[in-house]
Amino acid sequence: MDVRIDNVRKEFDRFAALNDVSLDIRSGELIALLGPSGSGKTTLLRLIAGLDFPTSGAIYFGDEEASRKTVQERNIGFVFQHYALFRHMTVAENIGFGLKVRPSATRPPRSEIRRRASELLDLVQLSGLEGRYPSQLSGGQRQRVALARALAIEPRVLLLDEPFGALDAQVRRELRRWLREIHDSTGHTTVFVTHDQEEALELADRVVVMSQGGIEQVGTPDQIYDDPTSPFVYGFIGDSSELPVKVENGQVWLEDRAIGLDASGVSDGEALLYFRPHDIELLDGCGGCVAGTVAASRRVAGMRRVELEVGGSRHRVELELPTEQAAAEKSRIAFRPKRWKLFPIAGRSGAHLPRAA
Amino acid sequence: MSLAATSATRWQWKQPSVIPGFGLTFGFAIFYLSLIVLIPLAGVGWRSASLGWAEFWRLALDPRLLAALRTSFWTSFVAAAINAVFGVLVAWVLVRYNFPGRRIVDAAVDLPFALPTAVAGIALTAIYAPNGMLGSFFQPYGIRIAYSPIGIVIALVFISLPFMVRTVQPVMEEISREVEEAAATLGASRFQTVFRVILPGLTPAILTGFALAFGRAVGEYGSVIFIAGNIPYVSEIAPLLIYIRLEEFNYPAATAIGAIMLILAFIVLLTINLIQAWSRRRFGYGI
């Protein structure tokens, strides 16, 4: 089922939680809504579900407009962060609930409900636990039951709100892989909300990065990571370092020296230079490069993370160096980013130009 | 016989625990319970036991007493049942909706706790008497509210309301919105959500509230005697009968009635407690 979100706006007490958001979700896609808290990702998910209604704009399921339909009519599956299982029902009763509450004309017979419940328990690898109550299950098991319950009604769209947020790291990784497998075998259009970029990048076909009630960028994990289109995405996804620079005559200048990056086509003015701390080349001498003094150096797993003070303003940038690279404090290091991007400082003229060396 | 071996297998009164002070607090709890509850109750039992079986049975099977006991327990049961419905509704409104004056309504629920019950009884009588504000509406239809068992039920509903509301309220607050939303996403109508999801979850709390309200109502004296009319065999409650016997200096009869009420109340409360323990295991929401 395609889902189309068309210029949706949502206000809570005059505060705009979502600002004219548009998004196309393709049928069968696994899509992540990623953003810091307060970015509007959960609001968007609840609007798709019908748990809230947009202030303006429309949501389409396929060709039919869904935004004025009630949550019951939309036939979606929703998984909550804190499971929201029915405590007084067994696992099997929880899973069968969505079928049992159907009007008698469309309600499957009792035996069929039981059969489907045990089928779904197989799918979520919890067979044999039909008779347990939610309080007798671990967090990871509860979330699997919640997913089975959502799948039982054969939803047109599956929506998950920070589904692994309340679980510990080990279980989280395991469930992530397992959700991907389930998605691939059932083929539901799936939207999940997360603030964990690792989760979004690893799991999703496409990632929607959100900030302050708007969509910053939509793309595959590769596009999002390798080709961020805004300073926010660059800073939010993965590690990044930034340097205030000046563009003049197709050259990038750090204070009074050109640093050897070709910025032809970029109009003159002040800009921010973004690069990944590991995407750099170290240089011996320094004719056209960035040079700085090591201010701090830490060993992190298989590499060394170095903070460098650059230029007269002592702006700090972070680099990741191989462990064999000496980086004593006060020693000088010269480098040049291999992949980088310029974003003109707001208010100044000039379009940004993505660049790769 | 080594000490380690015995302590490993022997049943232990005191489980090893990181929370110290079991002996002290347990001792105090027993002492306190004895002083406040058990010794006075044992006194009732002992006094009535001194009557001898024959005399006890003669007093117990007095038709007037049986009628009074029936009135007491029956009206208390009805009052607790009414509160189980409307008290839960009050709690629901207080928990789920935000409206101007909610705090005031919330505070008003506790008034029956604080108000001297005689005041409540007199006020209710004034309103429901045949010439009272509400009573006069029913009078033409031949329905008497004050001076009849209906009046007793109304007084008991009044005094036991806070027990139900205050028991159910915190548990209701604990049921998260998400559970209701989950039911809605699964296609359940509002009606189905309330009756299949919310109320079953509240059952243990409602039973607890029922037991408390019932217990309070059975023992109630102050408010009932004003509104009941106290007609023997019709609207006379057992606590009043005790008082009457005391005024007649018939102490053995008074203690016998006390002992019988004690036993009956204990049986009822124990039964409710057992049902409740079962439903808590079954439904999960504790109280």
As separate numbers, helices (DSSP H) first and strands (DSSP E) second, chain A gives 9, 21
Tell me the pLDDT band of A327, cut-offs 50, 70 and 90: confident
Of B18 and B74, the structure prediction assigns the larger pLDDT to B74
Q: Are residues A61 and A130 in the same domain?
A: yes
**Three-state secondary-structure class, residue A271:** strand
CATH assignment of the domain containing A340: 2.40.50.140
Which residues from chain B sit within 8 angstroms of residue A149, using beta carbons? 182, 186
Contact B160, B79 (CB under 8 A): yes
- In the predicted model, what is the mean pLDDT of chain B? 86
Enter the tokens of residue A55: 């202030």
Tokens matching residue B131: 């010439």
The reported pLDDT for the residue numbered A347 is 52
Structure-token match 């509210």, residue found = B145
Taken as a whole, chain A contains a residue count of 357
Total number of domains in chain A: 2
By CB neighbour count within 10 A (0-12 exposed, 13-18 middle, 19+ buried), where does B17 fall? exposed
CATH code, residues B52-283 = 1.10.3720.10
Mean pLDDT throughout A50-75?
A: 91
Question: Residue written as tokens 């995405």?
Answer: A233
Q: Reading across the β-sheet that carries A30-34, which strands appear in turn?
A: A76-79, A157-161, A189-194, A30-34, A206-211, A214-219
> At residue B204, what are phi and psi to the nearest 5 degrees?
-60, -40
Report the pLDDT value the prediction gives residue B6, as an integer from 0 to 100.
Answer: 47
| CA A268 and chain centroid, separation | 34
Residue range B26-62, pLDDT digits in tens: 999 999 999 998 898 888 888 888 888 888 888 888 8
Which of residues A199 and A166 earns the better pLDDT score? A199
> Strand (E) positions, A221-268?
241-248, 251-254, 257-262
A98 contact residues in B (CB cutoff 8 A): 186-188
Rounded mean pLDDT of A284-302?
Answer: 84
Q: In the listed set A234, A254, A286, which residue is the last one of a domain according to the structure?
A: A234
What does residue B99 show for φ and ψ, rounded to 5 degrees? -140, 155
User: Which of A186, A185, A183, A187 is closest to A202 using CA atoms?
Assistant: A183
Instruction: Provide the number of CB pairs (under 8 Å) joining chain A to chain B.
Output: 72
pLDDT of residue A353: 46
Among A33-37, A148-152, A265-269, B82-86, name the one with the lowest average pLDDT.
Answer: A265-269
Write down the residue that tokens 């009869």 correspond to: B253
* Residue B287 scores a pLDDT above 60: no
Question: How remote is the C-alpha of A76 from its chain's centroid?
Answer: 21
Element containing residue A159 per DSSP (H, E) = strand A157-161
Taking any CB pair shorter than 8 Å as contact, residues of chain A touching chain B are 49, 51, 70-72, 75-78, 80, 82, 84-88, 97-98, 101-102, 133-135, 146, 149-150, 152-153
Q: Are residue A216 and residue A76 in the same domain, yes or no? A: yes
Question: Where among A211, A234, A257 does a domain terminate?
Answer: A234
Pick from A71, A134, A135: which is nearest to B185 by CB?
A71
What number of other Cβ atoms are within 10 A of residue B153's Cβ? 22
**Residue B207 corresponds to which amino acid?**
L
Give me the residue from B184, B187, B196 closest to A102, CB to CB. Answer: B187
Strand partners, A254: A257
The token duo for A350 is: 């000039």
Partners of A258 in beta bridges: A253
Q: Do B186 and A76 touch (CB under 8 A)?
A: no
Give per-residue pLDDT as tens, A266-285: 788 888 899 999 898 888 87
Mean pLDDT of B268-285: 78
What is the structure's pLDDT at A70? 92
The pTM score is 0.77
CB contact under 8 A, B178 and A87: no
How far is the C-alpha of A233 from the C-alpha of A225, rounded, in Å? 8
Are the beta carbons of B284 and A133 separated by less than 8 Å? yes
Do residues A55 and A35 share a domain? yes
CATH number at residue A108: 3.40.50.300
B175, B176, B186, best to mutate vs chain A, most A CBs in 10 Å: B186
Q: For residue B279, give how far its alpha carbon lies from the nearest alpha carbon of chain A (Å).
A: 9
Residues A147 and A291 in one domain: no
Domain final residue pick, A204, A219, A234 = A234
Nearest to A46, CA basis, from A250, A191, A143: A191
- Torsional sign, CA A312, A314, A315, A321: positive
Question: CA B275 to CA B84: how far, in whole Å?
Answer: 15
> Residue B2's pLDDT band (boundaries 50, 70, 90)?
very low
Tokens encoding A205? 């076909």
Q: What is the pLDDT of residues A205-259, one digit of tens each?
A: 999 999 999 999 999 999 999 899 999 999 899 889 888 888 888 888 888 888 8
Domain boundaries, chain B: 52-283
Query: Average pLDDT of B181-185?
Result: 94
Whether residues A316 and A192 share a domain: the answer is no
**What's chain B's length in residues?**
287
Q: What average pLDDT score do residues B75-103 get?
A: 93
Give residue B96's pLDDT: 86
Domain that holds residue A285: 239-356
> Who among A72, A87, A152 is closest to B184 (CB)?
A72
Distance of CA A252 to the CA centre of its chain: 32
Nearest-CA distance A97 → chain B (Å) = 7
Contact B176 A150 (CB under 8 A): no
**Unique residue bearing structure tokens 């049902």:** B275
Complex ipTM value: 0.81
The residue of chain A with its CA nearest to that of B181 is: A51
Residue A180 clears pLDDT 80, i.e. is over it: yes
Same domain, A176 and A303: no
SS3 B222: helix
- Give the residue among A189, A171, A232 at the shortest CA–CA distance from A45: A189
Cross-chain residue pair B283–A51, CB shorter than 8 Å: no
User: Which two three-digit tokens encode residue A106?
Assistant: 């469309």
CA A61 to chain B, closest CA, distance in angstroms equals 16
Radius of gyration of chain B (CA): 24
pLDDT given at position B204: 85
Query: Per residue in B95-129, pLDDT tens?
Result: 988 899 999 999 999 998 888 988 999 999 999 98
Q: Does B190 touch chain A (CB under 8 A)?
A: no
Cβ contact (<8 Å) for A77 and B185? Answer: yes
The minimal CB distance from B182 to the residues A84, A88, A102 is found for A84
Helices B251-283, B53-60: axis angle to 10 degrees equals 80
* C-alpha distances out from residue A85 to A42, A80, B170, Å: 19, 9, 19
**Are the beta carbons of A101 and B192 separated by less than 8 Å?**
yes
Residue A141 in tokens: 């098991």
Least confident of A53-62, B6-15, B277-286: B6-15
pLDDT, tens digit, for every residue of A120-140? 999 888 988 989 989 889 988
pLDDT in tens, B128-163: 988 888 888 888 888 888 888 999 999 999 999 999
Q: Distances in Å between the alpha carbon of B26 and those of B7, B13, B20, B33, B35?
A: 21, 11, 11, 10, 14
Same domain, yes or no: A277 and A229 = no
* Interchain pair B284, A72: CB under 8 A: no
Angle at A260 between CA A255 and CA A265, to 5 degrees: 90
* Mean confidence (pLDDT) of chain A: 88
- Tokens 């339909």 identify what position? A69
Nearest to B187 among A49, A101, A146 (CB): A101
Mutate to test the interface with B, among A13, A45, A46, A72 (most CBs of B within 10 A): A72
Contact yes or no for B119/B155 (Cβ under 8 A): no
- Look up residue B36 and give its DSSP letter: I
Q: Are residues A211 and A256 in the same domain?
A: no
CB atoms within 10 A of CB B283: 20
Instruction: State the pLDDT at residue A357.
Output: 39
What residues form DSSP beta bridges with A206?
Answer: A31
**What residues contact residue A22 under an 8 Å CB cut-off, 6+ apart?**
A5, A6, A7, A8, A215
The pLDDT score that the predictor gives to residue B281 is 72
Evaluated on CA atoms B91, B93, B94, B95, the torsion sign reads: positive
**CB count, 10 Å around CB of B105?**
12
